[in-house]
Chains A and B, each alone.
Chain A
């Protein structure tokens, strides 16, 4: 019998959608597909493809189940003893700063809280940083500079009720799909609502844009500097608001006029047509209810903080803040980046939205925690932290739920740092990530749906993630592991929590401790909440001070801020371009981002075969002009070389990027591909204030890979060692193992085949197809009518669908006599070749869509009613439109 669903929160992006989960009726049954929680104010029942596929990620594959020390299984007790002994030793010998936590926006607030407390209050170091540094650190610093607090002023509803939405540095259609869908729906309902996208690339988000400014990479701040000047010229400044609630306007305006004196100079700096900039400026002047929506494209910059403040300046100057449909709205990339900020889980924070520099804060927190060893100053931010590790200053690092070998810039440096570090502790759900391979001690962590706690989304909404499934193997909660180490270090009483509820209540108490309205973050209402209340907590936006249980929708409605003068501060901004400029040696600019159906380093989404179908391999998007000039081949391979490293990626010819610029998604790790880690290429250039790396910018060289390269697709029942290959990429599949590969030379094929058959213990091959005309050869080995190994070789890149073939790797699948030919043909003769999957929800492919359009379907809605594509999460709609001839003309 199916049970009633349980409510929890999605573990992906910062939208923080509510998820309904039905538990399986028997222990070993798979979890049924999840659905969106119609009651959750973030999504009202919607889910994106990634969220919809959550149940498919709950699998045993590569799950880390037992602790290990130097590769040998160990008990929790042994592991925790080793950890605490080593921490005690290095603290004694080298001081507390020889220890560091490197945490993650994926862990829950409660985990974050105890880690921060242990380090800053008990070990005595502020070396607690997190992958959130890579995501929104610039936004935090900018909010603090302007507001005196790290406060997101807006709520999601503002995105629906504004009249002008400026989306900058965000491909929300793919990265925050549910918000994007809400925006798209609002725009459809209120057609006068203008949407402007500012992005060097033409992304899927441009689909709903009235105007797209394809700016030069990193030139965003100049747009807002110009808008500030234009507000003055067009006489739309809100002088009375500024007088009551802000300070520093004159300096900021003066600086803006110096930086962006004219339309032409600004258009030239940003590389956009003057008429585009004029149009934006006119809309800005004419439309009062404006939200600026920004994300990593702004934050991941060597001048990210300034960019954020350039945006905030415009909103302060026009009084467009603290009102419905207005405000500078930073959208976080991670499910709990906000929660991390709230506990102070970053090296330049103390706790509960207090900093070391906040007068009296250190003392307040020390008293609250009864802390014996309070840290006294900021710790090291991510990049500095790994550099200090390489320099031998940090001797023990505890990495939790993140994969810095892929997400941090300059992978080679991160490797050197972790190699140098005396004890690398990694807590993760997965056995094999690029970072777990560097660990001395591995701790098996519980994951989404197994652990209890809270997360905070981009609109300050605290929601519960619920532990609904049993922990597998010896997996334990992160907060538990931290507290056990704390107890072994002698801090029993301060870390004697019975559960996540105890921690949350303490966190709430700290937020309210001697607050009295001086600090934005106050959830004092929860100070006395019971376990039962915690378990049934409904999503609520902080602040939730005592006596205000309904929380707070919008901030700064009263024009009061958290600076010492209670006024918001303008910051004079001089726009600058990215630190590294392209030159003769490094002629191309690399921009990075995400694909629609993957999230971060694929440790979770990589397990759902259905999510691999939209984009199954790492790629680099290159303008056709450059593809031609470089002698590259579409769908072939290119080598990207930067001063810090290199990567091999598939070439995707696209007019979405401009000549001279290329784009690559960041997701692929060495666990999925041998040579495609994009962070190899990224320099450790950071914003001086936020320490956030300029991860969206590298200067590179592009090289064609020799023409004699031989491409291949491999299916195998068992994992294969492909270390001899020029390139391999493992593509998540429902059954067995699927690799797309390339050999440097067709001459290597015989040796390679021999090697693979030796590995798999297969002898003579049973089926073979040779086609010298198209440079194809295919081989298959069967064992007792079961497909064991399949090799397809092709001299030219090939997009053959392996879907049907993969089904033949299913444990109970037999290759029938009449299917043997099909094994080498790639499909059953009658089977429809769907083409590339466009709609992941319903697995509708490009060829099906083309066919429907050829047969007269004339709109996305009709496609939806005929093929169902786009009718669930809708994140494929921008792509669907590209199939409809009239829509393509409109957008051209």
Chain B
């Protein structure tokens, strides 16, 4: 079976590896990557930027080994078009590749704010190894503006501040990580990051980027009209699924490429996984559901039954010394109740959201060791109504009751 995977990011390269591991003889796989480096672990970019790991630790899959197992790896020759009726993929070089099954794993790109000046060379995302390389090449003590106080933006900010730069984070919401934390936890995080030297401008979106005659951006206009000087702008204000090829080929897309429980798109023999796909109005930015998608697709391709479903996914901030854990529905709705533990002295915070005897969401700041246990309770829909008095104190206090 000829399988063509477009996208050699984490989803695409991992899928290739899984297929090869499962039935190396059955598949003839072609993996087409846009970036010069393929199969690396994108999650580790922030650690790389923060100098916590070296490039050797970046590999997600062993591309060389896969090539020895028969994988065809194509880099530097982007896909130009999909010719679905012919079951062909057209590359920039003009080469046509025939497939039996096509998998789209085109990922996403950084969302660029719709303001003036974003086309300058010193305005970048924080998505690729190339982005990190550029940041590592910066001269010392630059002023960097990070747009977005989400997970990615904060990881970039920490990496950059550790490299000696002066970093200011602009965040549209009133508090950091507003999709993962509540205000109290965010405040603890902010205080901690401020102590590392990062400045925050909360509730602020830059109104425009001011270009110097050189064409480089050297200033950023704040809502109050003031100009903040900057040597580099990092866009981390969300991601946009990369769906141009799919759209052009006539696949059903909304925010992203629509897939069903088997990861199939609207066209037979075409599948989509990862950040470029959309399932039941969900898009994906975290790795855990994507691994599930890969597992489903591996089964589907070998004619086994499998169904993908949406599961809560814990998120962590990868900043060493700063522990944040968030999972599930963390903003209480009607009929939800919040259990809260806070230790101002040592910056510990826990919030659990409970609904009808079930744990539905958790935020941990500081000591996050119980995160995985809370995640299990959420995932398994364990009834916790008889341990609500101990729940927030963690697994050790509830052990006897939860077997």
Seen from chain A, the residues whose Cβ lies within 8 Å of a Cβ on chain B are 764-774, 776, 782, 817, 820-822, 824-825, 829-830
Contact = CB atoms under 8 A, between A and B. Distances in A.
Contacts of A817: 346
Contact of B346 (A765, A773, A820): A820
Contacts of A782: 345
A774 B388 contact: yes
Interface string B343-362: 11110100000100000000
B338 A765 contact: no
Given A773-B388, A774-B388, A820-B346, A825 B393 contact: yes
A821 B344 contact: no
Nearest to A766: B345
A772 B338 contact: yes
Nearest to B391: A771
Given A768-B340, A771-B339, A821 B389 contact: no
Contacts of A774: 388-389
B392 A773 contact: no
Interface of B: 337-346, 348, 354, 367, 388-390, 392-394, 396-397, 399
Nearest to A771: B339
Given A769-B392, A772-B338, A776-B389, A764 B344 contact: yes
Contacts of A769: 339-342, 392
Contact of B343 (A772, A776, A821, A830): A821
A825 B397 contact: yes
Contact of B345 (A767, A771, A824): A767
A768 B341 contact: yes
Contacts of A768: 340-344
A771 B388 CA distance: 8
21 contacts: A764-B344, A766-B344, A766-B345, A768-B342, A768-B343, A768-B344, A769-B341, A769-B342, A771-B340, A772-B337, A773-B337, A774-B389, A782-B345, A820-B345, A820-B348, A821-B341, A821-B348, A824-B341, A829-B397, A829-B399, A830-B396
Identify which of A773, A821, A822 gathers the most chain B CB atoms within 10 Å of its CB: A821
Nearest to A785: B345
Contacts of B393: 821-822, 824-825, 829
A753 B343 CA distance: 17
A776 B337 CA distance: 13
Given A772-B338, A773-B354, A767 B392 contact: no
A767 B346 CA distance: 9
B343 A820 contact: yes
Nearest to B344: A766
A48 to B, nearest CB: 35
A768 to B, nearest CB: 5
A782 B348 CA distance: 15
A773 B339 contact: yes
Given A825-B393, A829-B394, A829-B396, A767 B337 contact: no
Given A776-B389, A829-B394, 8 more contacts: A765-B344, A767-B341, A768-B340, A771-B392, A774-B389, A820-B345, A821-B343, A821-B348
A772 B338 CA distance: 7
B376 to A, nearest CB: 18
Contacts of A770: 338-341
Contacts of B392: 769, 771
Nearest to B396: A829
A522 B287 CA distance: 98
Nearest to B388: A773
Nearest to A779: B342
Among all A-B residue pairs, the 4 with the closest Cβ atoms: A829-B396, A825-B393, A766-B345, A770-B340
B343 A767 contact: yes
A766 B340 CA distance: 13
A768 B367 CA distance: 15
Contacts of A821: 341, 343, 348, 367, 393-394
Nearest to B357: A773
B177 to A, nearest CB: 21
Nearest to B393: A825
A781 to B, nearest CB: 9
A10 B392 CA distance: 49
Q: Most chain-A CB neighbours within 10 Å: which of B339, B343, B392, B399?
A: B343
Nearest to B354: A773
A355 B392 CA distance: 72
Contacts of A830: 396
Contacts of B343: 766-768, 820-821
A78 to B, nearest CB: 51
A44 B222 CA distance: 90
Contacts of B342: 767-769
Contact of B344 (A767, A825, A829): A767
Contacts of B341: 767-770, 821, 824
B40 to A, nearest CB: 38
B344 A771 contact: no
Most B CB atoms within 10 A — which of A764, A770, A822? A770
Contacts of A773: 337, 339, 354, 388
A424 to B, nearest CB: 49
B133 to A, nearest CB: 40
A775 to B, nearest CB: 10
A822 B342 CA distance: 12
Contacts of B390: 825
A811 B233 CA distance: 55
Contacts of B367: 821
Contacts of B339: 769-773
Nearest to B351: A770
A244 B367 CA distance: 89
A764 B344 CA distance: 9
A771 B338 CA distance: 7
A117 B388 CA distance: 67
A771 B354 CA distance: 10
Contacts of B337: 772-773
A594 B390 CA distance: 36
Contacts of B346: 817, 820
A785 to B, nearest CB: 9
A232 to B, nearest CB: 64
Contacts of A825: 390, 393, 397
A108 to B, nearest CB: 52
Contacts of A776: 389
A830 B394 CA distance: 12
Contacts of B388: 771, 773-774
A827 to B, nearest CB: 8
Nearest to A821: B393
A771 B389 CA distance: 7
Nearest to B341: A769
Contacts of B340: 768-771
A753 to B, nearest CB: 15
B316 to A, nearest CB: 20
A770 B399 CA distance: 21
Nearest to A776: B389
A801 to B, nearest CB: 13
Contacts of B338: 770, 772
A769 B346 CA distance: 14
A825 B387 CA distance: 12
Contacts of A772: 337-339
Tell me which of A764, A767, A773, A824 has the highest count of chain B C-beta atoms within 10 A of its own C-beta.
A773
A568 to B, nearest CB: 65
B399 to A, nearest CB: 8
Contacts of B399: 829
A380 to B, nearest CB: 56
A787 to B, nearest CB: 12
A745 B243 CA distance: 59
Contacts of B344: 764-768
A830 B396 CA distance: 7
A637 to B, nearest CB: 21
A825 B393 CA distance: 6
Nearest to A829: B396
A470 to B, nearest CB: 45
A73 to B, nearest CB: 42
